[in-house]
């Protein structure tokens, strides 16, 4: 059964003890490097504010967010720890970053100058990390043009260049040649500071895959994302740090019926049985982030047994074929997690839906309540 204070039977359970162990394992693995838990997309579905509070309590050196709005939610919740906003920014947002002591990403000379001007107008000092593109082709100044950005930063009088970073495109692959090329390019950029007899700002490039596969990339700070939540970046990635999933997604049986042969189930009539079967309905759907692509593909756990979803996943419900087994209204249905000796992982759901575990976790809608617990 769902906890008594949860009105909706569909809920996510987040085990804070698992998150704590994962963070500790990462910190031990990276040695002297600082650790910045990445909390974007509602902390990968686990709950932004709650996970942030846990990480601050564990001594996280920095918190990572994607957008201004995520940073503001942390500040509004009373979290005063340093927050680096990793995403690109619009010029009109810059004053709000500075006023709320959020660290900005400066990905071009123009943005750097806008930040400096905004800080001067506010009579405040901004904190920035410079972003270098070493092979992602997303955001950041190209590595071969980076000296211009670094030179421009030395002329800014109203900001502190606290860090400089890049991002791996393929560090989760078995073939690490491109990731090593990116690291080499980044180190070449950083040589600017030695050439000018200047102390380098905080250097970082390692995401979860970099933490796991490229110890030489740990530098001054690492940015664990999905591995913090107990999921590995890819099937190819070496599992050099033991982490455990912190999230389970559960619901309940809400209806039971016997469906006769030849009677199709759900929209589009994509599934029917050639013999009588027992079908149960579960109050979860693509409106909750349970993908429609899981129709006739996914399995769930009921009473420790695996059963297939049949027919199309609806916005708020889906149906499960339990053949002639027993299930009753109120029985727990595990969509993601363990029941008895059976487990459904984020990798399982991703495979059935034709996507990646990142999308599975971050798509769990906020209308699904989060329940926080610890090991008993």
Q: Which residues are catalytic?
A: 40, 267
Q: Which two tokens stand for residue 161?
A: 């260049």
Instruction: Tell me which residue of 91, 93, 110 sits closest to 102, measured CA to CA.
Output: 93
Are 39 and 69 within 8 A, CB to CB? no
The per-residue b/e assignment along 201-214, b for 16 or more CB within 10 angstroms, e otherwise, is: bbbbbbbbbbbbbb
How distant is the alpha carbon of residue 156 from its chain centre? 34
CA distance readout (Å), 58 to 25, 90, 202, 242, 321: 12, 33, 21, 18, 44
User: Is the Cβ–Cβ distance between 130 and 166 less than 8 Å?
Assistant: no
Burial class (CB in 10 A: 0-12, 13-18, 19+), 257: exposed
Q: Residue 292 has what DSSP assignment?
A: G
Q: What is the dihedral of CA 255, 256, 258, 262, to 10 degrees?
A: 40
Question: How many beta carbons lie within 10 A of that of residue 7, not counting itself?
Answer: 8
Residue-by-residue DSSP string for 172-194:
TSS--HHHHHHHHHHHHHHHHHH
Sequence-separated (6 or more) residues with CB below 8 Å from residue 133: 139, 140, 141, 142, 143, 166
Helix axes 16-29, 48-57, angle to 10 degrees: 50
d(CA 254, CA 279) in angstroms, rounded, equals: 11
Q: Which two tokens stand for residue 142?
A: 């190209």
Burial of 226 (0-12, 13-18, 19+ CB in 10 A): buried
């Amino acid at each position: 059964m769902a906890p008594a204070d949860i009105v909706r039977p569909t809920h996510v359970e987040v085990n804070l003890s698992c998150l704590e162990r994962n963070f500790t394992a990462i910190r031990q693995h990276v040695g002297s490097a600082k650790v910045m838990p990445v909390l974007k997309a509602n902390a990968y579905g686990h709950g932004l504010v709650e996970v942030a509070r846990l990480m601050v309590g564990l001594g996280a050196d920095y918190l990572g967010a994607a957008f201004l709005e995520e940073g503001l939610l942390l500040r509004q919740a009373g979290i005063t720890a340093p927050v680096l906003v990793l995403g690109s920014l619009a010029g009109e947002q810059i004053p709000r970053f500075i006023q709320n002591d959020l660290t900005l990403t400066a990905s071009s000379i123009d943005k750097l100058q806008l930040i400096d001007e905004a800080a001067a107008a506010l009579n405040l000092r901004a904190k920035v990390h410079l972003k270098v593109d070493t092979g992602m082709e997303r955001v950041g100044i190209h590595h071969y043009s980076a000296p211009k950005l670094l030179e421009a930063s030395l002329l800014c009088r109203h900001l502190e260049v606290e860090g400089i970073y890049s991002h791996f495109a393929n560090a989760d692959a078995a073939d690490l040649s491109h990731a090593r090329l990116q690291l080499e390019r980044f180190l070449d950029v950083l040589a600017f500071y030695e050439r000018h007899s200047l102390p380098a700002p905080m250097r970082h490039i390692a995401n979860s895959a970099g933490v796991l596969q490229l110890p030489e990339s740990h530098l001054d700070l690492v940015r664990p994302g999905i591995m913090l939540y107990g999921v590995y970046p890819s099937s190819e990635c070496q599992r050099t740090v033991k982490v455990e999933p912190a999230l389970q997604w559960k619901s309940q049986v809400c209806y039971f019926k016997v469906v006769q042969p030849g009677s199709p189930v759900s929209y589009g009539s994509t599934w029917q049985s050639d013999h009588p079967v027992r079908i149960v309905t579960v109050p979860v759907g693509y409106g909750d982030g349970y993908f429609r692509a899981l129709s006739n593909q996914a399995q769930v756990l009921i009473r420790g047994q695996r059963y297939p979803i049949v027919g199309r996943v609806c916005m708020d419900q889906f149906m499960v074929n339990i053949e002639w087994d027993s299930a009753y209204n109120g029985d727990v249905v595990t969509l993601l997690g363990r029941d008895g000796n059976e487990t459904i992982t984020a990798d399982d759901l991703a495979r059935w839906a034709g996507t990646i575990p990142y999308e599975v976790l971050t798509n769990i809608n906020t209308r699904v309540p989060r329940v926080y617990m610890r090991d008993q």
